[in-house]
Chains A and B, each alone.
Chain A
Amino acid sequence: MNWEDESLIIHTKPYKDSHTILTLLTKSNGKRIGLARTSNKKTGNPFQVGTIGQAHWRARLADHLGTINIDVTDVPFAKHMGDPLRLLIIQSMCGLLHELILEHDPHPQTFADALTLLQHLHGSNPLQSYIKFEMNMLKELGFALTLTHCAATGSREQLTYLSPKSGQAVCNSAGTPFADKLFRMPQFFKEPNSDTPTEDLIFCLNITGYFLEKCLFLPAHKKFPLARDLLIKKIGSLS
């Protein structure tokens, strides 16, 4: 049994001195795990989270651990080593993918979103791309935020609130009586553009974080990736 696929390394675990157990998100085969030979400690381990490449997986049966060999095509970690924000974004993205995507469950859209985010890290607004990634992830896993119309009236105008219960937008007239129980709709959710203030972006991350935790992490008894907490702390210190 073997397959070959575009892949992204989302988790690594050292195994003895010269091997690493890699968790990959692949384009067509979903999340897969395998043992990779990672030379030795003298030359370093080229397989770090965020690395993109063509994976070759081999095993006798499909549910075996299998061995992986990767022809590396890009190493975003090396490119962004000096930038804590971008580094935390890579780690947070990989942490979310590792915790939330089920094994053998193909998510080609999430894979494409992850590659898009890694490409956008070279741009000037990586944080905005990361928020979009989290929103897309919620959508892909069945908990999309509905931001186009009001949950109560169906109106598409003056969407000023967001329901923490349903993740749907609520218009001003329907939401004002319950304003203390609703999230204020961040400007970035309404009009994503490059001028969004940092406070608004942190608020967006808090909202996506709330839904990720409520809908996905808590039911699975999982913890948020440490990198995401550090990312929010880092953004806070930048503003």
Chain B
Amino acid sequence: MQSAELQHLIQLLAKLPGLGPRSGRRAALHLVKNKQTLMHSLMVSLKEVYDKLLSCSTCGNLDTSDPCGICTDPRRENSSICVIESVADLWALERTSSFKGKYHILGGVLSIQQGNTPDKLTIQTLVDRVAAEKPQEVILALSATPEGVTTTHYLVDALKSYPVTVTGIAHGVPIGGELDYLDDGTIYAALKERRPYSS
């Protein structure tokens, strides 16, 4: 029989993505076993993040300062803005170190199921940002789902009156992917967006 406090901890851990009641119990036990080395550090870290974390008023990124480190970094290019759905996508792009511009987090994609109408997303903020910062390129890096692509087209319309090149990321065969294992839609999109190789 667990104490009420421990039971509450297990319930909270079980609510985390990817965890359930069983893995919540395992995580709680692990924390209890490593009380000093892990539990205390985790507690301090959680408090620190809770106290200091802010949402950047410019791009929507999570950081301890507003504007965030990316928006204030002088080494980042001001000529391009990459539009993404969430902070998780920003982290994914940053992992690759392939993009040196700035970001704009949309907060989701247009979807009636999730209640995401155009006014619920940061579309107007993006339009205002494009008008003010005058970037040369806006890269739309949204999901290749019907909602994501619809949002992409909506943004293209919203930005068409500004002198900016609007581009989208490619859809197709993933690195290391074998055609035989890909679904029909991906193969179709990949074939449609084929590009010439220069010799």
Nearest CB in chain B: distance from A9 CB, A: 10
> Which secondary structure dominates where chain A touches chain B?
mixed
In the complex, the answer to whether A87 meets B153 with C-beta atoms within 8 Å is: yes
Assembly CA distance A42 to B182 (angstroms): 11
Within 214-239 of A, Cβ neighbours of B (below 8 Å) are at 223, 225-227, 230, 234, 237
The yes or no answer to B171 lying at the interface (CB within 8 A) is: yes
Which of B64-72, B73-81, B123-131, B144-152 lies at the interface?
A: B144-152
Given contacts A17-B18, A84-B153, contact A48 B146 (CB under 8 A): yes
In the complex, the answer to whether A46 meets B185 with C-beta atoms within 8 Å is: yes
Nearest A-chain residue to B160, judged by Cβ? A237
Contacts of B110 in A (CB 8 A): 226, 230
Which of B1-9, B55-63, B100-108, B111-119 lies at the interface?
A: B111-119
Assembly CA distance A81 to B153 (angstroms): 9
For the side of the interface on B, what is the size category?
A: 20 to 34
Which of A54-62, A70-78, A151-159 lies at the interface?
A: A70-78
Given contacts A223-B112, A225-B112, contact A78 B154 (CB under 8 A): no
Contacts of A95 in B (CB 8 A): 112
Contacts of B44 in A (CB 8 A): none
In the complex, the answer to whether B183 meets A237 with C-beta atoms within 8 Å is: no
Central interface residue in B154, B156, B181, by most chain A CB within 10 Å: B154
In the complex, the answer to whether A72 meets B146 with C-beta atoms within 8 Å is: no
Given A43-B181, A81-B171, A227-B150, 19 additional A-B pairs, CB 8 A? A11-B113, A43-B182, A43-B183, A44-B144, A44-B186, A46-B183, A46-B185, A48-B185, A74-B184, A75-B185, A77-B149, A78-B185, A78-B186, A78-B188, A78-B189, A84-B156, A226-B111, A226-B112, A234-B153
Residues of A within 8 A of B (CB): 11, 13, 17, 42-46, 48-51, 72, 74-75, 77-79, 81-82, 84, 87-88, 90-91, 95, 223, 225-227, 230, 234, 237
The 10 closest A-B pairs by CB, nearest first: A78-B185, A46-B183, A84-B153, A75-B185, A226-B112, A78-B188, A78-B189, A75-B184, A81-B149, A49-B146
Can you list 24 A-B contacts (CB < 8 A)?
Answer: A13-B113, A43-B177, A43-B182, A43-B183, A50-B146, A51-B185, A72-B184, A74-B184, A75-B183, A77-B149, A77-B185, A78-B184, A79-B188, A81-B144, A81-B171, A81-B189, A84-B156, A87-B146, A87-B153, A88-B150, A95-B112, A226-B110, A226-B112, A234-B153
